[in-house]
Amino acid sequence: AKITMRQLLDDAADRSYGVPAFNINNMEQALAIMDAANACDAPVIIQASKGARAYANDIMLRHMMDAVVEIYPHIPVCVHLDHGSDPGSCMTAIQAGFTSVMMDGSLMSDSRTPADWNYNVSVTRSVTQMAHLGGISVEGELGVLGSLETGTGEAEDGHGAEGQLSHEQLLTDPDEAVAFVKETKVDALAVAMGTSHGAYKFTKRPDGSVLAMRVIEEIHRKLPNTHLVMHGSSSVPAELQEIINLYGGDIRPTWGVPIEEIQHGIKHGVRKVNIDTDGRLAITGQIRKFLHDNPGEFDPRSYLKPAMHALTKLCTERFEQFGTAGKA
């Protein structure tokens, strides 16, 4: 059944597990993720970005979400807007059937400049006021996603925000997080602790100087009843990089967020874990490999099928690693 983020994350907090939020843009991703959720008996968050809405059309997304819920009626599915950029995009997502929206007021709606406190509080609060009237959940974000290695904040398109930012400007301040939740009444809070979107997060396996999990521990201590969200949580597995590079791709060596760090976060209040890049790598690796091995093949189903299997395998691993398996 379709459920809200609040319902799902309240259960996750009660039973101490995390829920992966996987991005979709097309039918293949939707079916592959649900195949894994079904195999693991796991609830799931399926999220679509502004880019996904532009790519697939809201009407297609709505019918796709309804379709997977009808195919797997016993699996709880939260349909979430990823990085809504303004109150209008959140409201049109709700009209399109989303049960949960993210109002990302951490960046201005041009998505390049870090926003100030008053802007973030005011847009986020206006979305929660409207969304809650209709029983829809809201995720807010405080802090700027981006690299502590380079001091660059990150816009939604994965390109750096203008200028160098200090650690203090990038990381979420725990006291501000308390005030932000109180002022906005968000159901879940995305926090910044050194991750960024995309494949190129860290130049080596991250330690505490670039992946500041202590920020999560401290925010959870101060806000024990707020569901925390980790963005930029792909692990960017070396073996997925290798397959792409073996078959003509060009991914330069890079590190993501180690699974153990996410598991540590789940022990400290992280309930929603956003993963897009790992799925993209899994899909692309298999398509590259299949087309290399079968140069005469041109039926899209022939290469989309192994791509879907690779995404299902990835999602299955994450459901098991985050404790979501068996919680449907």
Binding-site positions read 83, 104, 141, 197-198, 231-234, 274-277
Q: What's the CA gap between 310 and 115, in Å, rounded?
A: 38
Task: Indicate whether 80 belongs to the interface with ligand 13P (CB under 6 A).
Answer: no
Task: Indicate whether 154 belongs to the interface with ligand 13P (CB under 6 A).
Answer: no
Residue 173 contact among Zn ion, ligand 13P, Na ion, none, beta carbon within 5 to 8 Å by kind:
none
Burial 259-280 (b: 16+ CB within 10 A, else e): eebbeebbebbbbbbbbbbbbb
Task: Indicate whether 231 belongs to the interface with Zn ion (CB under 5 A).
Answer: yes
DSSP track, 25-84? SSHHHHHHHHHHHHHHT--EEEEE-HHHHHHH-HHHHHHHHHHHHHHSTTS-EEEEEEEE
Residues serving a catalytic function are 82
- Among residues 184 and 274, whose Cβ is nearest to ligand 13P? 274
- Residue 252, exposed/middle/buried by CB under 10 A (0-12, 13-18, 19+)? exposed
Query: Which of 35, 82, 261, 276: binder of Na ion (CB under 5 A)?
Result: 82
Residue 102 contact among Na ion, Zn ion, ligand G3H, none, beta carbon within 5 to 8 Å by kind:
Na ion
| Joined tokens for residue 256 | 């993501």
- Among residues 53 and 231, whose Cβ is nearest to Zn ion? 231
Stretch that binds Zn ion, among 16-24, 272-280, 281-289, 314-322 (CB under 5 A): 272-280
Task: Indicate whether 198 belongs to the interface with ligand 13P (CB under 6 A).
Answer: yes
Query: Which of 35, 82, 187, 261: binder of ligand 13P (CB under 6 A)?
Result: 82
**Cα first-last separation, the chain:** 10
Query: Which of 115, 275, 304, 315: binder of ligand 13P (CB under 6 A)?
Result: 275
Residue 212 contact among ligand 13P, ligand G3H, Na ion, none, beta carbon within 5 to 8 Å by kind:
none
Which residue ranges make up the annotated binding site for Zn(2+)? 83, 104, 141, 197, 231
Interface residues toward ligand G3H, by CB under 6 A: 23, 49, 51-52, 82-83, 156, 197, 276
Q: What's the CA gap between 272 and 190, in Å, rounded?
A: 9
- Among residues 23 and 324, whose Cβ is nearest to Zn ion? 23
Q: What's the CA gap between 194 and 212, in Å, rounded?
A: 6
Whether the Cβ atoms of residue 69 and residue 2 lie closer than 8 Å to each other: yes
Count of Cβ atoms closer than 10 Å to residue 245 Cβ: 15
Binding site residues, Zn ion, CB under 5 A: 231, 274
Binding site residues, ligand 13P, CB under 6 A: 23, 82-83, 197-198, 231-234, 274-278
